Amino acid sequence: MRSFNFFRRLSRAFNDYPSLSKIIVVSTISGGSLIAYPEANTYNGSQGHIAHADATASDGGHALSEVAPKKKKVVLLGTGWAGMSFLKNLNNPTYEVEVVSPRNFFVFTPLLPSVTCGKVEARSIAEPIRNIIIKKNVDISFSEAECVKIDPQNKKIYCRATIDSHSKGEEEFAVDYDYLIIAVGAQVNTFNTPGVMENCHFLKEIDDAQKIRKNVIESFEKASLPCLSEEERKKILHFVIVGGGPTGVEFAAELHDFVNEDVVKLYPKVKDLVKITLLEATDHILNMFDKRITNFAENKFGRDGIDVKLGSMVTGINENEISTKARSNGKTTSTPYGMVLWSTGIGPRPLIKEFMKQIGQGNRRALATDEWLRVEGFDNIYALGDCATINQRKVMEDIAEIFKKSRQGQLRNTYGQGISRNP
């Protein structure tokens, strides 16, 4: 009787405290049969995976089987600011994550202009992706490849390797997903201006900054050759920046500091021939910021000798000259240059353009998402960063709905009070 009471209390303890079910109690009862308490739940890590085990035993033998729930697979496209923000905040080990990007490192882009003139080394603003994911308590893998197509119906993406493995195949592969996070960023918007892709520098990646740095140094070395005329030296040392946004303004300031702090010592014979021109199609530079910042930047550039031309639209660029058109009078001019940096804004990448056509958003500049960053029409595809835009609900419509419901509630209350007063 005592044994029966003991097992009854033990059974009640297992029911009240499931964590005790890790202990399998085996006792011999008449007939040699075994009693086992199954449902051994094991917890791995701080959150997440729960493995269920059912144990049975009879006549001295036993069988043990474990069935682990299948993890949902999350595919992340991109290793920029949006992608890394998502990855760093993902701490749920119940997901399997695969990162796909042609770039295996994260770049601190605000310091790219400083790399162009050697103030900051490129390796100082890059962080390898594998250094980031190895610190996570999540099952994460990385593939250095470029996504070329998204198939939302079959929940697949198609990728192409960006590194040459010398294999005989085309190095293309497909990746299945349960959830897709699109964070591929954007590319430079040339506005279909003739000659931009062939003759201009951009500043989106570390490779771009290193190319600019090399070109700047080569320009000063070339201008220092004794066989050139003064006009040729002026042309070589004429640096043109197209676009008065943050990137263009920062590069112009960095280049000016480089000329006045380093060039005067390294290239004293040509330091007075350097000219920096900033072209902006609108009426002010940094027009997305407060007017006080805009006025300060314009005044500072004026004092530093940087030629800021407002209302000047670029119509074409060839190997030697850049053509502009003034908005005020329509006058067209052509100016010799040595190097041009194009930084006039961003546009969607080819992958995003093709995907928007598939889902009926072909007339947009970026993927439309709801306030939860879900691509419109899909519950398992999200878009973050420069490749997406959020369609916020109209506030006035929400307010009107609130007042409408409030009036309806008042009417119901008034009607109810009238009935109670006049039964």
Quick one: 113 and 230 in the same domain? no
CA gap 313, 162 in Å, rounded:
36
Quick one: 175 and 283 in the same domain? no
**Residues whose CB falls within 8 Å of the CB of residue 186, separated by 6 or more in sequence, listed in order:** 346, 347, 348, 349, 352, 366, 386, 387
CA gap 111, 119 in Å, rounded:
9
In the chain, pLDDT over 70 holds for what percent of residues?
78
| Domains held by the chain: number | 3
CA gap 301, 294 in Å, rounded:
11
Quick one: 309 and 381 in the same domain? no
- 7 domain-assigned: yes
Of 36, 67, 98, the position where a domain reaches its end is: 67
pLDDT tens figures, 319-360:
999 999 999 999 999 999 999 999 999 999 999 999 999 999
- 55 domain-assigned: yes
**Residues whose CB falls within 8 Å of the CB of residue 44, separated by 6 or more in sequence, listed in order:** 51, 93
Write out the residue range of the structural domain in which residue 276 sits. Answer: 196-345
Quick one: 121 and 9 in the same domain? no
Reply yes or no on whether the pLDDT at 5 is more than 80.
Answer: no
Buried b / exposed e over 28-59, threshold 16 CB at 10 Å, is eeeeeebeebeebeeeeeeebeeeebeeebee
pLDDT tens figures, 182-224:
999 999 999 999 999 999 999 999 999 999 999 999 999 999 9
Of 345, 379, 403, the position where a domain reaches its end is: 345
Quick one: 339 and 200 in the same domain? yes
Quick one: 226 and 159 in the same domain? no
- 405 domain-assigned: no
Of 67, 102, 122, the position where a domain reaches its end is: 67
Bigger pLDDT: 57 vs 234: 234
CA gap 180, 175 in Å, rounded:
11
**380 Ramachandran zone, left/alpha/beta (phi>0; psi -120 to 50):** alpha
Quick one: 356 and 309 in the same domain? no
Residue 45 confidence class, pLDDT cut points 50, 70, 90: very low
C-alpha 368 chain-centroid distance: 16
CA gap 306, 300 in Å, rounded:
9
Stretch among 42-51, 118-127, 231-240 having the lowest mean pLDDT:
42-51
pLDDT tens figures, 238-267:
999 999 999 999 999 999 999 999 988 999
